[in-house]
Structure 1
Amino acid sequence: MSAAHAPRGLGFIGLGVMGAPMCANLARRSGVPVIAHDVDAGKLRLPREAGARLAASVGEVAAQADAVFLCLADGRVTEAIGNEVLAAWAHAGGVGTLVDTGTTSIHVTRRLAAQASALGQQFVDAPVARMPQAAIDGTLSIMAGGDARAVEAVLPWLRCMGTDITHCGPVGAGQVVKILHNTFLFETVHALAEALAIARRNGVAGDVLFRAMELGSADARAVRVQGRSALLPGDYPAGRFPARYALKDVSLALELAEAARIDAAVGRHTAEMLRRTCDAGLADAYYPALYTLLDPQPA
């Protein structure tokens, strides 16, 4: 598939908090038929309202689409479904492009890319960043890895879902950048939570601390977003990025560090805090809930 060749259809599999609005934007903006699938039929409403056709199976998506986007939280599921799509295209004698928009282990990414190449198909890793509202608004940041021509071919469709697309390098580079992006954010929020707990125990109000940070060299988006929306009010709702997802992503970063023989001490500390947060029954809570372990009874 090339940018000059209009595909028969675009497939989208995995319609969670991020995937459903991403698929809906693809259906509204691409000008191409979109075929959507999720094992949970309740997640199909938003894509259907945007004009996507619904498929009963992965095979049905592959049969109608020349490019299929995956947005799945589990690496094993991503690999299994990705292989099913690639095999279906190869069996039918066609050529398609598989795009993984989830945050996935580099090992899964490389295996899928190798399988795609062996079957004469294309593969792009294009994980997304920013909050669920950005998925709704179509303003995601997308970090793509893959052959330049393959990335260029899917760029029009990525632009339906995001405003900032970075080609990070060959296959896997998108995942490396996204994993490190997320890990740096979690480490920053961890440090911010520690600072807030210490400040409160020393008689300084959290709002005063954050205002001073915002006026100085410590200013960061995490202070203005996670700090003010979650840490200050102690609000960690389910339905936002949960602690278990954060732990998964930091664990993927530690996997990268180990392979590179880097002693990622900060990452290990944050992973341990997230693990304790999950063990405390907060696995589905918004990940800044790690603060509750630092200061169980905030001042």
Structure 2
Amino acid sequence: MVTIGFIGLGVMGEPMCRNLARKSGARVLGFDLADAPLQRLAQVGVRRAASLAELAREADVIFMALPSGKHVQAVCDGDDGLLRHVEARHTIVDLGTSPVQASRELASRFAAKGAAFADAPIARTRQAAEDGTLSVMVGADAATFERLRPLIAMFATDITHCGGVGAGQVVKILNNMVLMQTVVALGEALETAKRAGLDPKLLFETLAKGSADSFALRNHGMKAMLPDTFPERAFSTEYARKDISYTLDLARSVQIDLPGAELADRRLGEAIQAGYGDLYWPVLARVIAASRKA
């Protein structure tokens, strides 16, 4: 029976860690700078690791659910970082969205220590994380994927092996690109309908019955944009713009122009400038609503 370490117990990390503790039968250690999630997780048997060194010493598989590639780099590279402590028995898993090349470089550095590395970014909502119904896109060699799949199944119902290290990030980055462009389109449709005198609720409900139906419409559109409700402690505009920047970096690396992604980046930037950086990212609809044709 493996021992699991889990680093990053935020909005998505805490429920994933909870599902691992409840369902896997494994011993689980948690590490986070915040105390509250560790106290809550103690109720399901998650033990607090006092340091990354302690977590690496006791855990075999280490999951990271961190806000960005920079945070992953800091956890791996810091003075007490994982790269200082890993051994051949370890498998390190990045559940966040990180730059493709950075993931591949980290994998090489862990491999030099004998350890395995996988990128396994998650998709879907906070409720899906609570329910254990996330979608996970895995980049890893076949043997590492097979070792990880039973553990990932504790918090995900759709697990896709996308290819070698970095492939999971490519798929997740493009997933987010399509989602963000769709939300921009929904924001444009919403405001156009309002200015044309149409009931926006009727618009979205009717779109959901036709070929414009989508996950974005039913979740981001109906649950956030329509009621104009964009809470904090959800996936923020700052984080969304970070993800679209990874898309644009990937596009440059393969020499393709993505004007749709550039538009989403601009709208997210405008939302941040308007003071909405900490709010749930479909708040970009407010920027669209405030715009006027010159």
Mapped contact 1:82–1:98 kept (Cα < 8 A): no
- The match for 1:3 is none
Matched, 1:48 2:42: yes
Q: Residues 88-135 of structure 1, C-alpha deviation per residue, up to 9 Å, x if partnerless? A: 123xxx421000001111122011101011111100110101111111
Which AA in structure 1 matches 2:236?
Answer: P
Choose the corresponding residue for 2:84, options 84, 87, 100: 87
Aligned to 2:16: 22
Q: Alpha-carbon deviation of 1:170?
A: 0.5
5+ residue gaps, structure 1, are: 1-5
The number of residues matched between the two structures is 288
Q: 1:272 to 1:70 in 2, by over 3 A?
A: same
What is the rounded CA distance, in whole Å, between the counterparts of 1:238 and 1:214 in structure 2?
Answer: 27
Give distance in 1, aligned partners of 2:182 and 2:164.
28
Correspondence 1:66 to 2:44:
no
- The SS at the match of 1:295 is helix
| Deviation at residue 183 of structure 1 after TM alignment | 1.6
- Residue 100 of structure 2 is matched in structure 1 by 106
Retained in 2: the 8 A contact 1:128–1:142? yes
Question: Percent of counterpart pairs with the same letter?
Answer: 43
Superposition pairs of residues 228-247 of structure 1, within 5 angstroms:
228-247=222-241
Aligned partners of 1:88, 1:222: CA distance in 2, in Å? 41
Query: Matched residues in 1 for 2:156 and 2:39: separation?
Result: 21
Aligned equivalent of 1:120: 114
Deviation at 1:46, TM superposition (A): 2.9
Q: Which amino acid aligns with 1:81?
A: V
Q: How does 1:238-257 map to 2 (within 5 A)?
A: 238-257=232-251
Match of 1:190 in 2: 184
Is the 1:86–1:98 contact (alpha carbons within 8 Å) kept by the matching residues of 2?
Answer: no
Q: 2:241 & 2:64 partners in 1: Cα distance?
A: 21
TM-score (normalizing by structure 1) = 0.93
Q: Is the 8 A contact 2:68 2:242 kept in 1?
A: no
CA distance in 1, matches of 2:132, 2:209: 31
CA contact (8 A) 1:13 1:36 kept: yes
Partner of 2:153: 159
1:210 to 163, 179, 204: 204
Aligned 8 A contact 1:86 1:121 in 2: no
Alpha-carbon distance between aligned partners in 2 of 1:50 and 1:252, rounded to the nearest angstrom? 36
How far 1:80 moved relative to its partner?
2.8
**Residue type matched to 1:150 in 2?**
T
State the shift of 1:74 in Å: 2.9
Kindly indicate whether the alpha-carbon contact (under 8 Å) linking 2:20 and 2:151 is maintained by their aligned counterparts in 1: yes
Residue-by-residue CA offset, 1:202-229 (whole Å, 9 max, x unaligned): 1111112112212221111212111111
Please give the per-residue CA displacement for 1:131-152, whole angstroms capped at 9, x wherever unaligned: 1111111111111001010011
Kindly state the Cα deviation for residue 257 of structure 1 after the two structures are TM-superposed.
Answer: 0.7
Structure 2: gaps (5+ residues) = none
2:129 is matched with 135
CA apart distance, 1:14 = 0.5
Q: What RMSD in Å do the two structures reach over aligned CA positions?
A: 1.3
Match of 1:275 among 269, 278, 284: 269
Letter in 2 for 1:209: L
**Partners in 1 of 2:75 and 2:212 — Cα distance?**
43
